[in-house]
Amino acid sequence: MKNFKYSWLVGVVVTLVILIAPILYFLPKNEAKADDPWAHVPQRLPHTDHSALLKGPFADGPAVTRACLECHEEAGQQMLQTAHWKWESEPVLLEGRAEPVALGKKNAINNFCIGIQSNWPPCTACHAGYGWVDETFDFTNETNIDCLVCHDTSGAYVKANGGYPAEGVDLLAVAQSVGSPTRDNCGGCHFRGGGGNAVKHGDLDESLYYPPDSVDVHMGQHNFVCTDCHQTEDHQIKGRAITVSLDDKNQVYCTDCHTEQLHDDERINAHVQTVACQTCHVPLGAVREATKMHWDWSTAGQDREEDPHEYLKIKGSFVYEKQFMPEYAWYNGTAGRYLMGDKIDPSRPTSLNTPHGAIEDETAKIWPFKIHRATQLYDTEYDYLLNPKTAGEGGYWTDFDWDQAARLGSAVVGLAYSGHYDFAPTEMYLPLTHMVAPAGQALQCVDCHSSAGRLDWAALGYEGDPINRGGRAQSQLLPADAAGEAN
């Protein structure tokens, strides 16, 4: 041994072996699940104090915008391309239609306040611009952009009809407060869709300003703001809603942050092919604030007791519901679209935006929806829905004359009006995707797979409860090639 020069080397190697072998033997064999949702949540920008940069005084909104554009030179052109400005999409070729269609709030018809055309001033109070009061509004003028509605952090900015700042708003103070959009900026319009708190969506309302964990796990427990998920580049905000969007490009997905196979239970992971995350994790709509489920325009105009949640003379009667159980349908991310002038069958409900998808469509998943049902104006001769003028001079809300409202509205949208109207049932699908509940409130097996379960298997196209009959892949409810892929 003594003659061997490198005996120390042998010693070190042997020692390392002694150390490493038992450690390797005892190391845990299972790999931990790789799921790090926080890695996908954007870093929030540090706040820049604008009070020294903006001296004012500002005579009106556009004056503020000009000041903004001095430094943020690109912002104007960026904004002019956005849906928040245009209220209209790029033209999209829709199934069954010859010409590409450009659609948005600008020209769509819904079953709440029906359509903005001829009714601009009150509707455009939520437009990110100044002065959209009629069809002549200039969509190419950067100075008409309202920067403040999204960037005010003072909470003192209020918009009035036509999108103008309300009287009494201290534009200098508001301008100096600007920062990244907060819940208040988005919520000011989106929590009040349909004209008031909680009216439209069923998953967006003012309870989300300060939500407890049980209402929204992201915004409550994890203190998210809207733009943490609706990430924004060049003022293009991620997110699509089939109430107005025609395609599902630039959509926000749970899987942007979460891995698909993150449940401990393989049975639950297997659901991910068929069931949207939202189906289990948004077990209820309208968790805190009741939302409008039904709107009957035909009863409007009566002089009877008013209650904003039951009856208004200008609008008719409503049904509001809180903590409602969603309705479930196949949905592949796009939807059909009722366009102004499309024929209807007044004897049955006309769906304005039926979600695309069926059990045979391997890209479709079962989704939770709020379905808003309404009874609204249509032309009995031409059999299409009418866009009545409600707001302003001669509108229904002032004169309570449907015929006149239909005539005035139709003239603006360019539809013929026969002079004969009645009311027809309509439906609108609103996918529920906000108000994600904490895991402890997600649906459990029995909520769907039991005699008292909430899914109508036959209506969804199943042979029976898939817990007994097998899922769509196993029971050949998917086309053969798709079934192969689904596995």
Partner 1 sequence: MMSKPPFSFLIPPRRFSLWLLVAIPALLFILAAGVALAQEPSVHPTFPLLDENGQNVLESGQPVSTMTSCGECHDTAYIESHSFHTAVGLNEFTQAGQAPTGRAWDTSPGLFGKWNPLTYRYLTPSGDDRLDLGTADWIRQFGARHVGGGPAVASRTGELLTALAVIENDPETHVLDPETGAAAPWDWQESGVVEMNCFLCHLANPNNEARIAELQAGRFQWANTATLLGAGIVEKVGNDWQWHEAAFTAEGELAAPFSAMQDPTNENCGQCHGLVHVEPDQPLATTGCQADQWSTETTGQIMSPQRLADSGMNLAGKQALSRAWDIHAERLVACVDCHFSLNNPIYYQESEETRPEHLKFDARRLDFSDYLLRPSHEFAKGQSAQGSLAPELKGSMRRCESCHSIEATHDWLPYKERHMDAISCESCHIPQMYAPARQMLDWTVLNPTGEPQVGCRGFAGEPGDFDRLITGYTPVLLSRRTIDGDATLAPHNLISAWFWVYGDPTRPVRLLDLQSAYFSDTGDYHPDVLAALDNNGNGELEETELRLDTPDKVEVIKSRLAALGLANPRITAEVQPYSINHNVTHGEWVTKDCQACHSQESRLTQPIMLASYLPGNVLPEFVIDTNTEVAGETYTTPQGELMYRPATTAKGLYILGHDRVAWVDWVGVLILLSTIGGIAVHAGLRFFVSLRLPQHEPELEQVYMYTTYERLWHWLQALAIMALIFTGLIIHRPDMFGQFSFAYAVQVHNILGFILLINALLAAFYHLASGEIRQYLPHPQGFFSQAITQTLYYTRGIFRGEAHPFQKNPQKKLNPLQQITYFGILNVLLPLQVISGMMIWGAQQWPQIANSLGGLPFLAPFHTLVAWLFASFLIMHIYLTTTGHTPLANIKAMIVGWDEVEVHGKA
Q: Which residues bind partner 1 (CB under 8 A)?
A: 1-2, 7-8, 10-12, 14-15, 17-19, 21-23, 25-26, 28-30, 264, 438-441, 444-447, 449-454, 467
Q: How far is the CB of 464 from partner 1 (least distance, A)?
A: 9
> Which residue reads 């089939």 in tokens?
242
Neighbours of 273 (CB within 10 A): 16
Q: Which is nearer to partner 1, 8 or 38 (CB)?
A: 8
What is the nearest approach in angstroms of partner 1 to the Cβ of residue 442?
Answer: 9
Place of tokens 């999209």: 92
**Residue appearing with tokens 């809300």:** 397
Between 21 and 416, whose beta carbon lies closer to partner 1? 21
Q: Which SS3 state, helix, strand or coil, does residue 329 take?
A: strand
CB of 51 to partner 1, least distance (A): 43
Instruction: Find the radius of gyration of the CA atoms of the chain.
Output: 28
Q: Please identify, using beta-carbon distances, which residue of 283 and 357 lies nearer to partner 1.
A: 283
Backbone angles phi, psi at 319, to 5 degrees: -125, 125
From the CB of 21, what's the least distance to partner 1, in Å? Answer: 7
Which residues on adjacent β-strands are paired with residue 145? 129
Work out how close the CB of 216 gets to partner 1 at its nearest, in angstroms, rounded to a whole number: 16
426-455: b or e for each residue (b if 16 or more CB lie within 10 Å)? Answer: bbbbbbbbbbbbeeebbbeeebbeeeeebb
Distances (CA, A) of 246 to 138, 338, 357, 368: 24, 11, 15, 19
C-beta of 22 vs 414, nearer to partner 1: 22
Q: Which two tokens stand for residue 72?
A: 């943020």
The number of helices, as runs of H, and strands, as runs of E, in the chain is 17, 10
- Pick the closer one to partner 1 by CB: 21 or 71: 21
For residue 177, the minimal CB distance to partner 1 (Å) is 37
CB of 441 to partner 1, least distance (A): 7
**What is the separation, in whole angstroms, between the first and last Cα of the chain?**
63
Structure tokens given for 245: 């969007």
- Identify which of residues 139 and 210 has a Cβ nearer to partner 1 in the complex: 210
* Residue closer to partner 1 (CB basis): 257 or 467: 467
